Amino acid sequence: MSKIRLVSTVAVALAVGFVLAQYVGLSPSQAGDEKASPVKPRARDFYAPNSEPLGADEMRIVACGTGMPTARPKQAASCWLVELGNGEKFIFDIGTGSAERIAALQIPHNYLDKVFLSHLHTDHFGDIMALFIGGALAGRQKPLRVWGPNGDTPERGTKYAIDHIRKALTWDIDGRRGITDPRGYHIEATEFDYKGVNQVVYQENGVTIRSWPAIHSLDGPVSYSLEWNGLKFVFGGDTYPNKWFDEFAKGADLAIHECFLSVPLMVEKFQFTPQSALAVATQIHTAPEAFGKVMSMIKPRMAVAYHFFNDYDTVGDLLARVRTTYDGPISMATDYMVWNVTKDEIRTRMAIVDEDVWPPPATEKPQLPDASTRIPYSDFVAGGKLDIRKVIQPIYDEANKKYGLSEKQDD
C-alpha cells in the first residue's frame, strides 16, 4: 500500500551554507533507525537544491509560483517544475516572478529548455522573457522551446504571443550579438489545438504529455497531464470545474488545481465588491468548495491547491471550505514546496534556497562569439566616449596574461 508523508518544517530559517555542508546526499532511508550520531548527518525534513539524488523511478515537483496576478515577494505567480528520474525536466507555466525561483534551484539551464503554458495571462507566462534571455546568459546553449494552445483567433494563440515577444526583444538580442554565446537566443513555439481532448502534445524519452480544454476567461486555456514510468502528474492551470478534468485527471499521483480565495476574503483583502468577488472567485476561477468537490471526484494520491495568497489568516478559511467537500490528502501550496513522488510514497517538504545563488555551471563549453556580427554604435554615440584607454589597458593586460589571450580594446 502506498503511503504519504507530510513533513512540516521550521528549518527554512537555517543558514543555507551549514545545510549544504552538513547534509549533502542523505535520504531518509539512509538514516534508518540508527542512533543519532554526533558527527554524521541525519535525515532532513526539508529539501536543499542540488544536494539530493533523484531516484531512477522518482518524480520531483517544485512549486516555483503559487500566487495570484498581483505581485508579492512571498509568492510568485503560477510555475511548476517537474523533474524525472531519467533526467528530463519540464516547466508548467512561467508566471511573473517565477524565474527567480527557478534560478534558486541551481539547475543548469540546458536542462530547462521545455515550457508548457496553460494560457496567456501574465500570471501564467509573464516571466517567459526572463527565462529566455536570463537562461541564455546563464548557460542555456540551445533554443528555449515553448508549447501552448492556440486561440479562437490567431492573435490569441501561443505562437502569436511568442513571435511578438521575440520581436519585442529585438533591441535586447541585437545588443548581445558578437559578445556572448549566441546559441541560447532562440525561442521556438509549438502550438496545438486547445479543443483537443486528451491529445498527445509531447512524447519523447518515455514521457507523454497530454492536454484537454479548460474553462477560463476566453476560449484557449488547457490543462495537462504528464505520464512517465507509471506515475502521473496533472496540472489544471486556471479553470472552472469541467468534465474533461473530471475524466482525464483520474489516476493522478499528484493533481494541481486552482483553489481561489473565498468571496469574503476577496471583499476583505482585495476590496472587491461582493458582486465582482462572486463573479471572479466562483465563475472565472474555482472556489475552495468546488476545488474540494473536484478532488473528491478524481481522488488523486495528493491534491495540491494553489492560486491564493497563503497566509496565516487565509489558509485556515480556505482549508475549512475545502474540507466541506473533500477529506483526502491535500497540500495547500506555497512557493518552494516540494513533492517527491514514487509508487510507494509521496513526501512533502519545503525547500531551503540560497538567495545569493549564482548561475550553475553550463553543461557544454561556451561557444566563442563572432565579433564580426556585432552591431556598431553610430558615429554620434561612439563620439561620446571618454578617452580612458590607459585606465582600461591594464585590465586587458591582466586578462590576457591570466587566460593566455591576446585581446585588444575596441577601436
- Helix residue spans in 220-303 (DSSP H): 243-248, 263-270, 274-279, 288-298
* Tens-digit pLDDT profile for residues 197-222: 999 999 999 999 999 999 999 999 99
CB 141 within 8 A of CB 364: yes
* Tens-digit pLDDT profile for residues 171-190: 999 999 999 999 999 999 99
Position 34 scores a pLDDT of 66
Position 42 scores a pLDDT of 83
Q: Would the pLDDT of 11 be above 50?
A: no
Q: Would the pLDDT of 3 be above 90?
A: no
Cell numbers found for residue 332 = 495547500
Position 411 scores a pLDDT of 80
47-351, CATH topology level: Metallo-beta-lactamase; Chain A (3.60.15)
Which one is predicted more confidently, 14 or 149? 149
Give the model's confidence band at 23: pLDDT under 50 very low, under 70 low, under 90 confident, else very high: very low
Partners of 144 in beta bridges: 187
The mean-pLDDT minimum among 31-35, 225-229, 272-276 falls in: 31-35
Position 41 scores a pLDDT of 83
Give the model's confidence band at 4: pLDDT under 50 very low, under 70 low, under 90 confident, else very high: low
Give the model's confidence band at 33: pLDDT under 50 very low, under 70 low, under 90 confident, else very high: low
d(CA 111, CA 145): 11
Q: Would the pLDDT of 247 be above 50?
A: yes
Q: Would the pLDDT of 330 be above 90?
A: yes
Position 6 scores a pLDDT of 54
β-pair type (89-94, 79-84):
antiparallel
* Tens-digit pLDDT profile for residues 295-309: 999 999 999 999 999
CB 297 within 8 A of CB 264: no
Give 18-26 contacts, CB < 8 A, sequence gap 24+. Answer: 19/44, 19/46, 19/48, 19/51, 19/352, 20/48, 20/51, 20/354, 23/48, 23/51, 24/48, 24/51, 25/51, 25/52, 25/53, 26/52
d(CA 234, CA 225): 4
Position 9 scores a pLDDT of 35
Give the model's confidence band at 19: pLDDT under 50 very low, under 70 low, under 90 confident, else very high: very low
Cell numbers found for residue 173 = 538580442
Residue with cell 532562440: 186
- The reported pTM is 0.91
Q: 211 phi and psi, to 5 degrees?
A: -130, 155
- Region 344-368: mean pLDDT is 94
Cell numbers found for residue 140 = 542555456
Residues of the chain with CATH 3.60.15.10: 47-351
Position 5 scores a pLDDT of 58
d(CA 75, CA 97): 8
Q: How far is CA 147 from CA 113, 144, 281, in A?
A: 11, 10, 28
Position 44 scores a pLDDT of 82
Give the model's confidence band at 12: pLDDT under 50 very low, under 70 low, under 90 confident, else very high: very low
